Amino acid sequence: MLERNGVVYYILGSHIQCGKVSDIKIEKGELFFLIDTYVQCDEDNWIAEEEIGKSVFFTEVEARQHYGTGHSLPTCCCG
């Protein structure tokens, strides 16, 4: 379950990273969250709930099982 200060594991490029959920918001009926160790371009990077199970996981084992499937959080600022 997603909760503030809960530990999550995420795929970032060719690495599995670990961090804590630092904030959660609901916007237009959709849930978004921040991970304290995931910062791109020196700004907050809100992650959609739909990334859970694709590039964000609740255990390291889950992250390793999904590693290499082509899913990753963005690794750069592309704007």
Q: Which tens digits make up the pLDDT trace of 15-26?
A: 999 999 999 999
Edge to edge, the sheet with strand 15-27 lists 47-48, 30-35, 15-27, 7-12, 56-57
Write down the pTM of the prediction: 0.87
- Match domain 7-66 to its CATH number in 1.10.10, 2.30.29, 2.30.30, 1.10.3470: 2.30.30
Residue 60 Cα to chain centre, angstroms = 13
Which tens digit of pLDDT belongs to each residue from 27-53?
Answer: 999 999 999 998 776 667 899 999 999
